[in-house]
Homo-oligomer: A and B are copies of this chain.
Amino acid sequence: MERVMILDTTLRDGTQGEGISLTVADKLRIAKKLDELGIAYIEGGFPGANPKDQEFFESAKKKLHLKHAKLTAFGSTRRPGVAAETDEGLRVLLDSQAPVVTLVGKAWDFHVREALRVTLEENLQMISDSVAYLKRQGREVIFDAEHFFDGYRHNPDYALATLTAAADAGVDWVTLCDTNGGTLPHQISEIVRVVVATLSVPVGIHTHNDCELAVANSLTAVRNGVTMVHGTINGIGERCGNANLASVIPNLELKLEKRCLPSSDHLVHLTEIARFIGEIANLVPHSYQPFVGHSAFAHKGGIHVSAISRNPETYEHIRPELVGNTRRILVSELSGVSNLQHRAEEFGVDVRDRKEEMRQLLGEIKELEYQGYQFEGAEASQELLFLKRFGQYESFFDVAAMRVEATMLDDDAMHSEAIVKLLVGGQSVHTVAEGNGPVNALDSALRKALTPFYPIIETMHLTDYKVRVLDEKDATAAKVRVLIESTNGFDVWRTIGVSENVIEASWEALVDSVMYFLLRVVRKDGAAEVS
């Protein structure tokens, strides 16, 4: 298998993404993970442009022990009219002590004149001097030709001349950058072919996703002779982001049969590492993300599901395990009895010879979904439905009454209070509690009522609460759907409630959450009995 080198610029170009801000500690953690995945080059930052990146390289010297990757510092060619040896930016790059330097320079004549305001000849000299100087200092040097494809379309000779200037000065790699992200795959392949045929040094590609083509452009470039791909994990970066390495890497390894990680054992860490980096960057998880997303191997359609259980290859382009992801079967109004059977097995409910009940349950689920329930995000509520229908449900408490009050008096502050009346083990329990808001108050009152009977409830808590209004045209009289996520530190479960009344919907999801905890989570370890 041919080798393709991966340069990850999550820590540099990735941080240009709107809303992305990484601390030095974050950057160190991400770099370790990228190394674990087996990335060849980790571009750690632009030390000349901001002090945080200088600090990162400083810390990296002491704390970052890379096994596979070479740490790379990013900077510009020397300023006009200055010797490379005395250029401040180049000095900072050398000071970073990164063994590799990515040097960005202009390849579009228009930008040389308009932005740099120097002659075309001086720009070539800036590239040549800077590369030669860094090489003399023992660095591996990658030349990033900014706006290369736009430049090539306007003045191909000059764009090529910038690459030749770098090559003649001893550069190790040149990278063709589609800085504006506007180039299409057929244009990429035409131009890459010319460059690879012209140059004697290896060529890389750096694409942006403004046309949703960054991954395709990277693959096309590789098919036309490029041997280094730049990108970021999850595709974060300025505007629409960079080429998403979480898609580029499996495509190269599994589809184009290129080796870009040290061995075939590394790819299985992809999903975990992509999600880890997403968490650190505080991105909303992109559930539909190819290869690594939570939904990437989730099957919802009924026809698909019956075929999948017989032969997974028929509806999956790769086995999810190859990238460390998992197959998921979803139950919804679009699904058939075979989806339910599959779920029942997962829930440990024996449904053999109970076809009629299965059909009734499917009808019930479809009816509930029609009303606005959505069980694919609320597996615990769904499991309770199964248990009820198949006689395996047991109620740990009954709700006799519930009341919530939200009051604003002269002090302009809101006060929320909830009262619940339950029947627990034959006893009537009546509690009241306050909260930040009405739902928080309800949660507190419910726990107050149940804790004396089931002290284990103190080990569970809610971790997520989502509200969506269905049928928004009806405005404040419309139905809402509430999703609640809970955990005891080990297990995580999700429940749902739907009502025209946000309090009722929240209450329904709350009660399901506690019931599920007592019935299923606790039971796994030992019985939850009235104490």
**Using a CB–CB distance below 8 Å, which chain A residues touch chain B?**
15-19, 21, 23, 25-26, 49-52, 108, 110-111, 114-115, 147, 150, 179-182, 184-186, 209-213, 215-217, 219-220, 223, 235-236, 238-241, 244, 247, 251, 255-256, 280, 282, 284, 286-291, 293-304, 306-307, 310-311, 314-318, 330, 332-334, 366, 369-370, 372, 374, 376-377, 399-410, 414, 416, 435-440, 442-443, 461-473, 475-478, 480, 484-485, 499-504, 506-507
Contact = CB atoms under 8 A, between A and B. Distances in A.
A467 B503 CA distance: 13
Contact of A184 (B51, B219, B294, B465): B219
Contacts of A300: 16-18, 238
A49 B334 contact: yes
Given A239-B297, A376-B19, A437-B499, A211 B115 contact: no
Given A182-B317, A299-B238, A467-B468, A213 B216 contact: yes
Given A216-B217, A437-B480, A465-B478, 20 more contacts: A18-B330, A19-B295, A19-B374, A23-B372, A23-B470, A111-B314, A115-B306, A181-B317, A186-B220, A211-B215, A235-B288, A240-B293, A240-B296, A284-B284, A406-B438, A406-B503, A406-B504, A414-B501, A465-B476, A502-B502
A237 B12 CA distance: 32
Contacts of A372: 21, 23
Given A374-B21, A476-B435, A476-B437, A209 B467 contact: no
Interface residues of chain A: helix, strand, loop or mixed (majority): mixed
Given A185-B220, A213-B215, A405-B405, A466 B469 contact: yes
Contacts of A110: 314
A432 B468 CA distance: 27
B408 A405 contact: no
21 contacts: A18-B294, A18-B376, A19-B287, A23-B470, A50-B366, A52-B333, A111-B307, A114-B307, A181-B290, A211-B247, A211-B317, A238-B298, A239-B299, A240-B288, A400-B410, A401-B408, A403-B408, A406-B503, A408-B504, A414-B499, A438-B503
B406 A401 contact: no
Contacts of A332: 21
A292 to B, nearest CB: 10
Contacts of A235: 288
Given A52-B333, A184-B255, A407 B402 contact: yes
A304 B76 CA distance: 13
Nearest to A146: B303
A317 B217 CA distance: 15
Contact of A440 (B304, B400, B476): B476
Given A18-B376, A115-B307, A469-B467, A476 B462 contact: yes
Contact of A437 (B241, B304, B403, B500): B500
A459 to B, nearest CB: 16
Nearest to A503: B406
Nearest to A311: B114
A335 to B, nearest CB: 10
A299 B210 CA distance: 13
A309 B301 CA distance: 49
A239 B147 CA distance: 35
Contacts of A439: 476, 502
Contacts of A476: 435-437, 439-440, 442-443, 462, 465, 484, 506
Q: Which of A211, A238, A296: most chain B CB closer than 10 A?
A: A211
A318 B181 CA distance: 10
B437 A502 contact: yes
Contact of A50 (B186, B282, B334): B334
Contacts of A211: 215, 247, 251, 255, 290-291, 317
Contacts of A311: 114
Given A51-B370, A240-B296, A408-B402, A475 B461 contact: yes
Contact of A288 (B236, B301, B307, B400): B236
Contact of A210 (B50, B213, B317, B400): B317
A233 to B, nearest CB: 13
A390 B86 CA distance: 37
Contacts of A477: 435-437, 440
A18 B298 contact: yes
A1 B299 CA distance: 39
A471 B25 contact: yes
A205 B223 CA distance: 23
